[in-house]
């Protein structure tokens, strides 16, 4: 099974900051990497798929990059609504595993 | 806009079977472009993929649960279902159904989730 490890596990930042979250796979997954945002008490929402493709309706301040084992999600200028938990998910092979999550908090 | 809605008991006794149904509306479950999946999230924890099914009936499961899980599809009612047998407290979680992209295996539309508690 492929293990997904996110760093950091939590992060404090301010509105307007540029933030990067990292996700590492235990083996190469090409670009089969998706990112989700989950706000407290809410349903996860797809942000990015195929490592760098923006899901329809997602603001352009979100971007993704990476291939192989190392991936990043970047928020170029944090907005108040971006404070949430972010999960990566590999879709290269079953079982389709998620990272443990990165909780983004307001500084 | 596609909608998914989970239904089923919110409380299940240990050793019994957890059964949930996901009803898909404003879209067809019989699409060549999607699978339909179940994901769960224990309280305060992360996400775990349980398994997925194609409308023609082919399915895949997480090996960690495979011996206890069955996912089935009912195209006539635009529904798919989850059965999880021999539940324990460790199966207490919010259970989500979701649409899964065929190519990128991304979950792009989710139900609101239903909390299932395993307790006597």
Measure the CA angle with vertex A10, ends A5 and A12; round to 5°.
Answer: 145
Does residue B75 sit at the A interface (CB-CB below 8 Å)? no
Task: List the single residue in A32, A97, A100 with the smallest CB-CB distance to B104.
Answer: A32
Q: What's residue B103's pLDDT? A: 87
Mutate to test the interface with B, among A10, A44, A50, A87 (most CBs of B within 10 A): A44
Query: Looking at CA atoms only, how far is residue A103 from chain B in angstroms?
Result: 11
Q: What's residue A51's pLDDT? A: 97
Mean predicted lDDT score pLDDT of chain A: 97
Identify the CA nearest to B115 among candidates B5, B4, B10, B17.
B10
Number of H helices, E strands in chain A: 0, 10
Contact B96 A99 (CB under 8 A): no
Q: What's residue B39's pLDDT? A: 98
Number of H helices, E strands in chain B: 0, 11
Asked if residues B1 and B91 have their Cβ atoms less than 8 Å apart, the reply is no
Asked if residues B26 and B2 have their Cβ atoms less than 8 Å apart, the reply is yes
Q: Which residues pair with B109 in a beta bridge?
A: B99
Is the pLDDT at A103 greater than 90, yes or no? yes
Successive 10-residue mean pLDDT values, chain B, 120 residues? 97 98 96 95 97 96 95 97 98 98 92 98
Q: What's residue A47's pLDDT? A: 98
Task: List the single residue in A50, A55, A95 with the smallest CB-CB distance to B49.
Answer: A95
């Amino acid at each position: 099974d492929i293990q997904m490890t996110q760093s950091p596990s939590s992060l404090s930042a301010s509105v307007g900051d540029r933030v990067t979250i990292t996700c590492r796979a235990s083996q190469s997954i090409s670009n089969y990497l998706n990112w989700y945002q989950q706000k407290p008490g809410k349903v996860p929402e797809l942000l990015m798929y195929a490592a760098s493709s923006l899901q329809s309706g997602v603001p352009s301040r979100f971007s993704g990059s990476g291939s192989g084992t190392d991936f990043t999600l970047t928020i170029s200028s944090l907005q108040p609504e971006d404070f949430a938990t972010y999960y990566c998910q590999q879709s290269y092979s079953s079982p389709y595993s998620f990272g443990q999550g990165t909780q983004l908090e307001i500084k | 806009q596609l909608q998914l809605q989970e239904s089923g008991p919110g409380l299940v006794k240990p050793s019994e079977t957890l059964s949930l149904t996901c009803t898909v509306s404003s879209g067809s479950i019989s699409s060549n472009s999607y699978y339909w999946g179940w994901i769960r999230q224990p309280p305060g924890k992360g996400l775990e993929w349980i398994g997925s099914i194609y409308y023609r009936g082919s399915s895949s499961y997480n090996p960690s649960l495979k011996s206890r899980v069955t996912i089935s599809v009912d195209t006539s009612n635009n529904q798919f279902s989850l059965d999880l047998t021999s539940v324990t407290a460790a199966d207490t979680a919010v259970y989500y159904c979701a649409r899964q992209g065929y190519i990128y295996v991304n979950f792009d539309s989710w139900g609101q989730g239903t909390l299932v508690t395993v307790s006597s």
